[in-house]
Structure 1
Amino acid sequence: MNIVILDAKTLANTSLSPLQKLGQVTVYSNTPPTQVISRCQHADIIITNKVILNASTIACLPNLKLICVAATGTNNIDLNAAKANNISVQNVAGYSTPSVVQLTFTLLGNLMGNVHRYNNDCKQGLWQKSDMFCRLDHPITEINAKQFVIVGYGALGKAVANVAHAFGAHVVIAERRHSKKTRAGRTDFDQALRQADIISVHCPLTEHTKNLFDESVLSLLKPSAVLINTARGGIVNEQALVDALNNKQLAGAGIDVLSQEPADANNPLLHYCGENLLVTPHIAWASKESITRLVQQIADNIQKFIKSSTTNKVV
């Protein structure tokens, strides 16, 4: 099998040995749109994380049999074109759950404990000048006994809920907004948001969740609430979030994903100067262990494909 990896840079120098056992592997750090066809002309299998494979590109790749997406989302692949050309598409799932959970609570712990602010104080020599053994300049609050609202209760939401329970939080599962029926074990969306001390977002980005956290939803929150989004950037309206932070409608936010990535220089979140916002560059999924699992899962997908079996099949 001739295997081409189009954007290996997203794999952070992780060993590709599980893939190299399966065929001839050609590796490109990244691939601009103009070079996709030439680089994949003889490929039986393409591995891509974010490089786009549209209908016109797929039509020019006669040997292509399988597209492996090195992620869960497949929005960079024209699935209809792949199906029409009898090309299988497989993704990976579940590989990043421990990593995402870890960053969720890292952001949350920093915000609720003001760790980043205390760290800066130490670097600036303020602790050294203290008239007592510690500094208590910034408020510290606990996760314990807080109303911990989870929006999106798939594998990630469930894993976050388990850790929240371990911290002693009261976990509340929000129902989909505007749902006509509230399922057992869930709470009406607006009601959940009104009581929330912590909101952690883990739903997919769809037409129903785009700009879900807009001005009207953010206005439901208590001024003491903290919002964490490690899901998709488009779920939280960025200007509305900045306005809410400026107006003290919520206590803080931790954001790992933006509506446009790489970040647009004009993104309002990057121009917000308050210390109650933490922004990280889409790293929740990217622990070394997570990427190792991702590579192994791609290898498993390919191996089963070669044996005419299927796993994680999208098309």
Structure 2
Amino acid sequence: MSETIVFLDHETLGPEVTMRRPSFSHGWEVHGKTTADQVLERAREASILIVNKVPLREPVLDQLPNLKFVAVAATGTDNVDLAACRRRGIPVSNVQAYAVHTVPEHTFSLILALRRSLMAYRESVASGAWQRAAQFTLLDHPIRDLHGSTLGIVGEGAIGQAVAALGRAFGMQVLFSAHKGSTGMGPLYTPFEEVLERSDVLTLHCPLTPQTRDLLGAAEFSRMRRRPIVVNTARGGLIVEADLVQALESGQIAGAAVDAVSVEPPPPDHPFMRLAKRPDFILTPHVGWASREARQEVADQVTACIEAFVAGQPRNLVT
């Protein structure tokens, strides 16, 4: 029996990525973008759905009687109602370990840019401040080494571990945070509150779950004694965004870099947009994952997951 495969948001992989079609008999339907109100119409006949960020919620799943498998073209699966899929016997797979180079590299690009005030110095050069200084150097903005500083990491998976390796290469002391509110995780972990207090750079690499939503808010920012740089290249919902703005504007933190927002793209009145021109704030459009090499790996893994499912040997299952 031929499978009907529908990819709802292929444009998220970019035009230069080639997606190999599965080797078995199948129908193939690709949509560049799909809005929430288009999902049902486009997915109605699908036995296999591919999604990246398109939401699959229970009311829609209720109306997809042919659906047998969901392949998520990402590691995060918070856009899919996993419990509803589980109740219906619909396996869901994701892609894994594809971003172990691209996200850490993007993370350290942001850390270095803030730690060395690169955005501020670029603006100073463009505005003529270097010429007005009339000397070989310009020292208008803070410059700090990473060597000897403390890197706090929330999230101990493959990406968190890769970020730790880069931190150690820079000569940083690395602290892996215990889960917020948890005790007894062992000597490899530092209590969450202590990581907040000791870090010069705090970076988030954990999934968005009910337990991690709003992980950082006003109470947590108030404990950041060393005025760290805060970096989030994971999920927008991990941070109370208005509280981050307040922490930066009040000087509780020295800088912030964000690659994921709770609403993407953020609307013009989003609190982050009023920070967009500050030299101590960097907002990138969810591209930390998106090196060409990583996106090709995503496409390759999606096809492999679909073929494994049809062969009766599913892989990368999350439910």
Report the TM-score, using the length of structure 2 for normalisation: 0.92
User: 1:18 — aligned with what?
Assistant: 20
Q: How many residues align?
A: 315
Q: How does 1:104-253 map to 2 (within 5 A)?
A: 104-253=107-256
User: Hey, what's the Cα distance between the residues in 1 that align with 2:105 and 2:21?
Assistant: 28
For 2:297, the equivalent position in structure 1 comes to: 293
The aligned runs of 1:4-153 (5 Å cut-off) are 4-19=6-21, 21-22=23-24, 23-153=26-156
**How far apart, in 2, do the equivalents of 1:156 and 1:232 lie?**
13
Distance 1:55 1:207 in 2: 18
1:211-238 per-residue CA deviation (whole Å, 9 max, x = no partner) reads 2211121111135421111112122212
Deviations 1:106-148, CA, capped at 9 Å, x for gaps = 1100001111111222223333444122322212111111011
Alpha-carbon offset, residue 66 of structure 1: 1.4
Letter of the 1:247 counterpart:
S
2:279 aligned with 1:275, yes or no?
A: yes
Confirm or deny: 8 A CA contact 2:231 2:256 kept in the other structure: yes
Residue aligned with 1:149, SS: strand
Q: Is the 8 A contact 1:19 1:295 kept in 2?
A: no
Q: Tell me which moved more, 292-301 or 73-82.
A: 73-82
Q: How far did 1:303 drift?
A: 1.2
Query: Within 1, Cα distance between the matches of 2:61 and 2:212?
Result: 30
Q: Deviations over 1:132-173 (max 9, x none)?
A: 223222121111110111111111111100000000001111
Q: Tell me the alpha carbon deviations over residues 55-113 of structure 1, each in whole angstroms, 9 at most, x when there is no partner.
A: 33223333322111111222222334333443322111211121110111011000011
The one-letter code of the counterpart of 1:8 is H
Contact 1:197-1:222 at 8 Å conserved across structures: no
Q: 1:17-67: CA deviations, max 9, x gaps?
A: 412655432111111233323322332211111222223322333332211
- Deviation (angstroms), 1:197: 1.0
- Contact residue 223 and residue 248 of structure 1 kept, 8 A: no
TM-score (norm 1): 0.93
CA change 1:37–1:249 in 2 (3 A) is: closer
Aligned AA for 2:62? Answer: A
Equivalent residues of 1:92, 1:294 under 8 A apart: yes
Cα distance, 1:307 vs. partner? 1.1
SS at match of 1:145: coil
Out of 304, 311, 317, the position equivalent to 1:307 is 311
What stretches of structure 2 of length at least 5 have no aligned partner?
none
Residues 256 and 280 in structure 1, CA contact (< 8 A), matched pair in contact too: yes
Query: For residues 121 and 160 of structure 1, do their structure 2 counterparts lie closer, same or farther at Cα, with a shift above 3 Å needed?
Result: same
The answer as to whether partners of 2:95 and 2:298 remain within 8 angstroms in 1 is yes
Change (3 A) 1:80 1:192: closer
Secondary structure of the structure 2 residue equivalent to 1:71: coil
Q: Which amino acid aligns with 1:289?
A: E
**In the superposition, relative to structure 1, how do residues 6 and 232 fare at CA in structure 2: closer, same or farther (>3 Å)?**
same
2:21 aligned counterpart, secondary structure: helix
Q: Distance in 1 between matches of 2:269 and 2:228?
A: 26
Tell me the residue number matched to 1:284: 288
Which segment is superposed worse, 79-88 or 6-15?
Answer: 79-88
Identity %: 35
Q: Judging changes above 3 Å, is the alpha-carbon distance between structure 1 residues 226 and 84 closer, same or farther for their aligned structure 2 residues? A: closer
For the Cα contact (< 8 Å) 2:78–2:208, is it kept in 1?
no
What letter matches 2:197 in structure 1? R
Partner SS state of residue 156, structure 1 = helix
Aligned: 1:266 with 2:269: yes
Divergent runs of 4+, >4 A: none
Q: Secondary structure at the match of 1:73?
A: coil
Q: 1:217 to 1:84 in 2, by over 3 A?
A: closer
User: What is the one-letter code of the residue matched to 1:54?
Assistant: R
Does the aligned pair in 1 maintain the 2:114–2:255 contact within 8 Å? yes
- CA RMSD, aligned part only? 1.9
